[in-house]
Amino acid sequence: MLSLLALQVSTAVAAEETAAAVEIPENLTSEQARELVARLSDEQVREIVISQLDKVAAAQQTEGDPAVYIGQLRKGIKVAADRFVSMYRSRERVGGIPSNFARQLTEDGHVSGWTLLAQLVGLLLAGFAVERLARRMLSRTAEPAANRLSLGRRIDLAAYGLLTGLIQLGAFAAGAALAISIAARPTPVAQEFWYDLLGALLWIKLVWLVLRVLVSTAASDNRLITVSASAARQIRIWSILLTAVLVLPEPIVPVATSQGLDADTELLLAFVFGLIFILLLLTLIVRLRRYGASLILREDGQNGPIRQGLARSWWALAGVYVLLIWLLSLGRRAATGESSLLPGLSSLALVALIPFFDRGLKWLIGWYFAGKNQSPGNAGATAEQGITPAAPIGAADHRTPAYIAIALRYARVIMVLCLLAIFFHLWDIDVRAISAQLVGPRVASALFDISITVLLTWALWGIIRISIERKLEEGKPADAGAEGESEAGGLGGSRVETVLPLIRIFIKITLIVMAVLISLSALGVNIGPLIAGAGVVGIAIGFGAQTLVRDIVSGFFYLLDDAFRIGEYVVIDQIRGTVEKISIRSFQLRHHEGPVHTIPYGEIRTLTNWSRDWAIMKFELRVPFETDIEKVRKIIKQIGIDMMEDPIFGPLMLAPLKSQGVNRMDDSALIIRCKFTAIPGQQYLIRREAFTRIQRVFEEKGIHFAPRRVLVEATTPAEAIKAAAGALDSEQQDDGASKKL
């Protein structure tokens, strides 16, 4: 019995040891996994499955855990600090790097230095010879640069130059590689070094090619990027220096550290070369501070204090950013051992390209809206605003429509958000985990949801606002900004200008309320009672403010009927004036003498609009009985024809001035009526001009106006005065009756 129990115990212990001793190799194929399972017992397979499930569960628990992320970040900072200390202690070993490099390259003295020099000269000569041959085969007549080329033509030339440059670069690489394969075959270490050096040279030549295409110093007026000649020269020279400092250590350091040098020494070398690169980059930033300021400042001179301050101090901010990126790159390499070259250069390029991204946005938005607005009716207005598909809009920001400025503002914010997202992705920064560790997971999640809600609401409002502003801009009359003498009864705005501002306010309030409710819901607030309470409050307001509801409903139908618009001259009972402001409950009239009348919609009984379609003006002329009526008719007709042909008054008249003949007679004159049709609000200006011309022509033709006279026969002076007053009153009543006709 005891022996049987001992046998069972030994068997169980052996099974546990066997299961614990089983290790799963990495990168198993499906066939290897099946073979491994076939060799294992059921207990071993069960233990392996349990261990793997435990690993998956632990990974799922720690994945996305803010505490784990912050812990890893703190651990990485501590590791980086320890590596920096070790790096500083390894400075004594740097002195042996040159001798180690020479020993490796000469294979412990078996290869002469002159041989290596001959190989270097040979690969350079072979590469340049093949490149020159390719250049001669691709040579063509240069474009004349006397006149500035269009943007499309400059892009074509840049694309052609880049293509031919890449072909020449490939020819250089082929020639140099052929020379290396022939001349350096007996020296394997040197051959590998020459190939690495060739790669570094190709990077330098590629950067030179791109800069030559973008900021050519030969044709200043035809550069793809607008820079001055001095700035173009400095950008090319310093960029080549920076590229050389960046890529030349790549083939040298591996050979120098192949024997006897540890990772701390390599980190120290990376620190030294990175410091040289950063110092050169900071020098370039300081030298280009004026050029950067010119990119920030607006060309029209309308710069606010923030823009001016940024233009003065951008180079200092850029320098601080460069130093932070360098320290971040060193810290990442010290903590993980991975190279930070790609994220570091990408981060620097993001900031350096912001001004050019901004100019690209200006051109793209201007081109888009100019193409949308390009129609026979508004082609002239588009050209007058200075917006063309081939030119950026930055030079005429003060004349561009409001919706373009709004679109540009929203595009800039989106650009900044995209650049921040790219920056965080490059450096593996989990903003959500960091915020969760700082303020707690629940608050961080709520803040994230609120941020997304606000961003989407803001973007939706931007689209709606741009559309409304564009419609308002298109709805303005062509002569809206022209100075004139328009008086009461002038043409008002379009129906779009009247209704869209109210719609804009309604949509804005709706979006704000929705965003607030969603944000409260994200914070854990139950918004159901709020919505129900709002409904109860709305019902209470409806019952308690019937006058308010009547005003709002009446105003809705007045606007729906298009009874009046902004800028129109209307008469309501005894109140008259120009519609100046429209709200939900009432609107304001500006009297032509200055006072402002506020009228609720519900108080309107009869509304007379003096600004629709046309205005007919009638006036009278008094001439003596002996005047030739036909002659007067022809004179007035000719004056009407002349005024229709006048460049100033002709566009304001819809029908010419003409005589309607003798309207009536009194005791002293013939009364001739004249009339014309004009644009509303311009009839008084045209009438004054008509009076001036009629008086001048009548004087030239010898025609006189008849004065008003009253003949009174009386026996006493008192009776004469009384009779004259009665006759005058009667004549005024007759004049008023005739004017109504």
With respect to CATH, is domain 615-709 assigned 3.30.70.100? yes
What gap in Å lies between CA 424 and CA 420, rounded to an integer?
6
In the chain, CATH 3.30.70.100 covers 615-709
Closest CA to 485 of 317, 685, 719, 644: 685
Q: Are 701 and 635 in contact (CB under 8 A)?
A: yes
- Residues 558-592 pLDDT 10s: 777 778 778 788 888 888 888 888 887 788 888 87
Tokens of 547: 């006058």
- Residue 595: pLDDT band with limits 50, 70, 90: confident
Identity of the residue numbered 457: T
> Token match 């001048």: residue?
696
- Residues 507-552 pLDDT 10s: 888 888 888 888 888 777 777 777 776 666 666 666 656 777 777 7
Angle at 311 between CA 308 and CA 315, to 5 degrees: 150
In the chain, CATH 2.30.30.60 covers 488-612
Percent of the chain with pLDDT over 90: 0
Mean pLDDT value of segment 720-736:
62
- Residue 674: pLDDT band with limits 50, 70, 90: very high
**Stated pTM of the model:** 0.56
- Residue 740: CA count within 13 A, CB half-sphere: 5
Closest CA to 690 of 625, 637, 622: 637
Q: Are 573 and 600 in contact (CB under 8 A)?
A: no
Q: What is the CATH code of the structural domain delimited by 488-612?
A: 2.30.30.60
How, if at all, do strands 607-609 and 596-600 pair?
unpaired
Run of H or E including 16: helix 2-21
Higher pLDDT, 329 or 82: 329
Phi, psi angles (nearest 5°) of residue 360: -65, -40
Burial 504-532 (b: 16+ CB within 10 A, else e): beeeeeebeeebebbbebbeeeeeeeeee
| Dihedral sign for Cα atoms in the order 623, 627, 629, 630 | negative
Run of H or E including 150: none
Closest CA to 350 of 444, 418, 398, 281: 418
Residue 671: beta bridge partners?
622, 664
Q: Are 187 and 195 in contact (CB under 8 A)?
A: no
In order of 11, 18, 45, 148, the CA distances from 15 in angstroms are 6, 5, 11, 86
